[in-house]
């Protein structure tokens, strides 16, 4: 099925809660083109090891809502500094056709539906329908991802006009499992969609870039100051969920203590 056929399919829906679906390019007040960045959160409710995990609560809020919140915080920061960053940022969810996510999270942000196991097609539909210059791939099993990781990586990718900026390359990874972020140019998304043939590459979206990217692609790596890749903060199992709930609770208590010590505006998160 071509993307045009998918888009015309009745099952392909846009839940329009944002101006993100306006295909006209955003511009600076001085007329300069803003690069359009879409933070697209990959989500589904049919996970095999922990079904409906996106609906699980962490401190009274669903896991998916936590991820959306972190993405929107990055969005707000960058959109408040467009004169410096040159980007206009939007947030969307990409989920399978008919997934309850589209019904349960209506109004949270725009939701784009596509094939369940061909996730690359989902992202390509998102890029085309929202006329994105860059796609940021975030997964819904990372509820503790810091907003500054997302915003910083967007800035690095767009300033350097990179085709793929990532903190997940296995050979050089230092980031925790659960802080995964990938910024992909439109050129790289289009190339991946046209080139990827095997199911693994289509399901995992960016593996084809990591093992077969053309030499002309500009690849950038995010390498931290500490080796933290052994720490698991993503949620795949019930045990993972309980660990993340405990981490969230511990950090929340620390923030509350700091606030009591020196006031609300003394607490900064990074």
In a domain, 248, yes or no: no
Q: Give 190's pLDDT tier (boundaries 50, 70, 90).
A: very high
Looking at the predicted structure, is the pLDDT value of residue 26 above 60?
Answer: no
Supply the DSSP symbol for 174.
-
- Crossing angle of helices 119-129 and 186-195, in 10° steps, is 140
Task: Please answer whether residues 53 and 241 qualify as being in contact, where contact means their C-beta atoms are separated by less than 8 angstroms.
Answer: yes
Task: Please answer whether residues 174 and 228 qualify as being in contact, where contact means their C-beta atoms are separated by less than 8 angstroms.
Answer: yes
- Crossing angle of helices 147-159 and 63-79, in 10° steps, is 50
In a domain, 34, yes or no: yes
Per the structure, the complete domain to which residue 64 belongs is given by 3-234
Q: Give 13's pLDDT tier (boundaries 50, 70, 90).
A: very low
In a domain, 269, yes or no: no
- Residue 237 zone, left/alpha/beta (φ > 0; ψ -120 to 50; rest): beta
Q: Give 269's pLDDT tier (boundaries 50, 70, 90).
A: confident
In a domain, 144, yes or no: yes
pTM: 0.90
Q: 79-110: per-residue pLDDT in tens?
A: 999 999 999 999 999 999 999 999 999 999 99
Q: In whole angstroms, how far apart are CA 269 and each of 63, 136, 147, 148, 167?
A: 19, 22, 9, 9, 20
Task: Please answer whether residues 211 and 168 qualify as being in contact, where contact means their C-beta atoms are separated by less than 8 angstroms.
Answer: no
What is the per-residue pLDDT for 33?
81
If you average pLDDT over residues 248-254, what whole number do you get?
97
Share of the chain above pLDDT 70, in %: 88
- Match 């093992």 to its residue by tokens: 211
In a domain, 7, yes or no: yes
Task: Please answer whether residues 219 and 213 qualify as being in contact, where contact means their C-beta atoms are separated by less than 8 angstroms.
Answer: yes
In a domain, 163, yes or no: yes
Q: 210-227: per-residue pLDDT in tens?
A: 999 999 999 999 999 999
H/E run at residue 212: helix 207-212
Task: Please answer whether residues 132 and 149 qualify as being in contact, where contact means their C-beta atoms are separated by less than 8 angstroms.
Answer: no
Looking at the predicted structure, is the pLDDT value of residue 24 above 50?
Answer: no
In a domain, 265, yes or no: no
What is the per-residue pLDDT for 23?
41
Question: What domain count does the chain have?
Answer: 1
What's the CATH number where 103 sits? 3.90.550.10
Q: 31-58: per-residue pLDDT in tens?
A: 568 999 999 999 999 999 999 999 999 9
Q: In whole angstroms, how far apart are CA 88 and each of 16, 83, 157, 161, 252?
A: 18, 10, 14, 15, 31
In a domain, 264, yes or no: no
| Rounded Cα gap, residues 68 and 13, in angstroms | 19
If you average pLDDT over residues 185-190, what whole number do you get?
98
Q: Which residues in 231-247 are b (16+ Cβ under 10 Å) and which e?
A: eebbbbeeebbeebbeb
If you average pLDDT over residues 193-199, what whole number do you get?
97
If you average pLDDT over residues 18-37, what whole number do you get?
58
Q: 128-172: per-residue pLDDT in tens?
A: 999 999 999 999 999 999 999 999 999 999 999 999 999 999 999
CA 105 centroid distance within chain: 16
| Rounded Cα gap, residues 154 and 70, in angstroms | 14
Based on C-alpha coordinates, what's the Rg of the chain? 18
């Amino acid at each position: 099925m071509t993307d045009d056929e998918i888009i015309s399919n009745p099952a392909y829906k846009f839940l329009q809660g944002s101006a993100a679906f306006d295909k006209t390019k955003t511009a600076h007040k001085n007329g300069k083109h803003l690069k359009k960045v879409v933070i697209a959160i990959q989500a589904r409710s049919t996970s095999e090891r922990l079904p409906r995990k996106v609906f699980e609560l962490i401190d009274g809020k669903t896991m998916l809502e936590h991820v959306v919140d972190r993405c929107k915080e990055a969005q707000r920061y960058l959109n408040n500094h467009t004169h410096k960053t040159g980007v206009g940022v939007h947030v969307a969810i990409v989920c399978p056709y008919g997934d309850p996510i589209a019904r349960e999270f209506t109004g949270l942000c725009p939701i784009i539906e596509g094939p369940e196991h061909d996730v690359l097609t989902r992202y390509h539909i998102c890029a085309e329908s929202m006329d994105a210059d860059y796609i940021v791939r975030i997964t819904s099993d990372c509820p503790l991802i810091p907003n500054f990781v997302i915003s910083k990586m967007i800035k690095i990718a767009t300033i350097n006009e990179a085709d793929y900026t990532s903190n997940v390359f296995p050979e050089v990874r230092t980031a925790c499992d659960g802080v995964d972020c990938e910024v992909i140019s439109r050129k790289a998304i289009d190339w991946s969609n046209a080139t990827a043939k095997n199911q693994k590459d289509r399901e995992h979206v960016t593996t084809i870039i990591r093992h077969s990217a053309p030499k002309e692609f500009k690849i950038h790596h995010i390498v931290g100051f500490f080796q933290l890749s052994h720490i698991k903060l993503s949620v795949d199992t019930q045990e993972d969920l309980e660990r993340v709930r405990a981490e969230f609770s511990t950090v929340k208590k620390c923030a509350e203590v700091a606030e009591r010590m020196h006031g609300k505006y003394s607490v900064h998160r990074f």
